């Protein structure tokens, strides 16, 4: 598991374990990774960090516009959908945090 670190001190940082589902591992090159962010970070901060690291392919799969997630992208923080926690503004927490990114597929 690769770790992505932004500049923080240990007491003010938060370790976020991100798991990728669906076609996301092929896009990222791995199924999970750890991102270190400031303690007060939000989902938006996490996605901005991942977008910076993984570029336009990641950004285009996750977002459909500025600050707007694709309707097919589900994101859970510690098992709870971010839609019920304030969307991109949802805080990640204070301890160990697990984020799951699950793209849905339409069809029929």
Q: Does 93 map to a domain? A: yes
Domain that holds residue 10: 2-103
Q: pLDDT tens digit string along 25-83? A: 999 999 999 999 998 999 999 999 999 999 999 999 999 988 899 999 999 999 999 99
Q: Model-level pTM?
A: 0.85
* pLDDT at position 5 over 70: no
Banded pLDDT at 4 (limits 50, 70, 90)? low
Domain containing residue 95: CATH number: 3.10.20.30
Parallel, antiparallel or unpaired: strands 2-5 and 32-38: parallel
Q: Cα separation of 49 and 61, whole Å? A: 15
Q: Does 13 map to a domain? A: yes
Q: Does 52 map to a domain? A: yes
Q: What spatial distance separates the first Cα and last Cα of the chain, rounded to whole Å?
A: 36
Listed residue (48, 2, 49) closest to 25, CA to CA: 2
* pLDDT at position 9 over 50: no
Q: Does 47 map to a domain? A: yes
Q: Does 108 map to a domain? A: no
Residue with more model confidence, 9 or 57 = 57
Check residue 93 and give its pLDDT. Answer: 82
Number of neighbours of residue 101 by Cβ within 10 angstroms: 21
- Give the contacts of 84 (CB within 8 A, at least 6 positions apart): none
């Amino acid at each position: 598991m690769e770790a992505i670190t932004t500049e923080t001190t240990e007491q003010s940082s938060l370790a976020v374990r991100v798991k990728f589902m669906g076609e996301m591992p092929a896009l990222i090159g791995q199924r999970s990774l750890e991102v270190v962010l400031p303690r007060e970070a939000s989902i938006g901060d996490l996605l901005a960090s991942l977008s910076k690291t993984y570029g336009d392919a990641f950004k285009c799969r996750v977002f459909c516009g500025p600050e707007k997630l694709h309707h097919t992208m589900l994101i859970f923080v510690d098992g709870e959908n971010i839609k019920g926690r304030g969307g991109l503004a949802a805080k990640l927490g204070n301890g160990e945090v697990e984020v799951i990114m699950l793209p849905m597929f339409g069809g029929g």
